[in-house]
Structures are given as C-alpha cells and as structure tokens.
Amino acid sequence: MLEYRTFGANTYLLRTPEGTLLVDSGLSRTREQVLAWAREEGVRAVLLTHHHPDHAGGARHLWEALALPIYAHPLDVPYLTGEVPRPPLGLPVVGRILNFPVPPVPRAALQTLEEGDSLMVWEVVHLPGHTPGQIGLMREGVLIAADAVGSRRGRAALPPGFLNEDQEQTRRTVRKIANMEPREVYVGHGPVLTGGEVRALAERLGV
C-alpha cells in the first residue's frame, strides 16, 4: 500500500483502489529519478504537501513529462506558481541555502484540496505551521504528515524553528495529530513514527 524513497525529502508512493498516488516530488535536481519512478509505477496524480523546494522541486517536471494533475492546498499555491516569493527563513545564511529557487508550477497544472476532501480514498488533513497550507493524508490509522513533525535521534521532534513559518501553529498542529490518534506517522525526513511517539512529543511541548 505504501512505499517511500528519499529525494531530499521522503517521497511516498500510495497504491490505492483508484490508482497510484505520488506524495511530494523531491528536489529539482532529483527530478529525473522521481520521474522514472513515477513512470515505472504508473502514477496517476501528485500531491504536494507544501511548497518547500525539497518537497515540490520536481513537480513541474512531472507535469511537463506526464501531464499528471498536481494537488496542493490553496494557501501554498501562490508560492508553488511563483506568483508570491517564498517567505524568508529565520536564519539568513542557512535560509539562502535552503530556500533556493525551483521551477514554478503552472496554475493550469494545479488543483486544490482542503481539510476533509478525499484523494484516492485518503482523507486530506490540514497541518499548518511549517507552511500555511501544509497538508497530509490519513487512512486507516496511517498518517502522511510531511514536515508537521520530524524524526530525530529515534524520536519525534519539531522541525527546526527557523524552518517553520509559524512556530506556535506548528506546536498546535502536533497536538492536532496526537488527537487524531494515528497508529503510524510517516514524516518528511526520517523513519516512520508511532502515534504514541507523537503524543509524547505533544506532552513534552505542553500543547
């Protein structure tokens, strides 16, 4: 049902009764590897969890090569299209390194999803904080959480604060995930977490 490979960030392949869905498109420089994987697996659509370049960098290439529909939350769409510059990151030097430009995704390629919508039998959940429009997918106790939470040194952790556009909202989203009671939480960076590990993080954060 679920497989992932790492192209700067974890990129997920979800096999569903309605076809195969790719979650995130990796870095622009790994676009050919992602494209080959998508072709091999017969991917029918792409979900971008958020606009950061390690998750959305290969999206335009996938659209140009395969004409795949690309889904994202409306709050992140202006950053994906390049209509609005991506917000600067909190540490200037590191921010310039990590916030490198990526090929913009044409508006015509994008379709929007919001909390409660369904995509190939997975339920869309809004996980804001890291970006305003970060979204994940939930089904049968499994959550694809993107960068709402990270996996560091074997336990759940917040992404570094300078990467989060709204740190307090990021903390609240950890509590939201804990309240959803997932069994497994697949993250953007690092190995899978248990729901219990995310609940423990929420307790440590006091949210």
Show pLDDT as tens, one digit a residue, over the chain (207 residues): 799 999 999 999 999 999 999 999 999 999 999 999 999 999 999 999 999 999 999 999 999 999 999 999 999 999 999 999 988 776 655 555 566 778 999 999 999 999 999 999 999 999 999 999 999 999 999 999 999 999 988 799 999 998 999 999 999 999 999 999 999 999 999 999 999 999 999 999 999
Residues in CB range of 154: below 8 A, 6 or more apart: none
pLDDT of the residue at 90: 67
β-sheet bridge partners, residue 110? 70
| Among the listed residues 189, 174, 204, 180, the one whose alpha carbon sits nearest the alpha carbon of residue 24 | 189
Determine how β-strand 70-72 pairs with β-strand 110-112.
parallel
Rounded to whole angstroms, how far apart are CA atoms 104 and 28? 11
Residue 97 pLDDT: 54
Return left, alpha or beta for 190; rule: phi > 0 is left, psi -120 to 50 is alpha, else beta. left
Q: What is the pTM of this model?
A: 0.95
Q: Which domain holds residue 186?
A: 2-205
Total domains present in the chain: 1
pLDDT at 14: 98
In this structure, the number of other CB atoms found within 10 A of the CB of residue 85 comes to 10
Contact call for residues 48 and 22 (beta carbons, < 8 A): no
pLDDT at 98: 64
Residue 43 exposed, middle or buried by CB count within 10 Å (0-12, 13-18, 19+) = buried
pLDDT at 7: 93
Dist. CA 4–CA 22, nearest whole Å: 9
Q: What is the dihedral of CA 1, 158, 51, 33, to 10 degrees?
A: -50
Residues sharing a CB contact under 8 Å with residue 187, sequence separation 6 or more, in sequence order = 10, 145, 146, 147, 148, 149, 150, 151, 193
CATH number for the domain that contains residue 119? 3.60.15.10
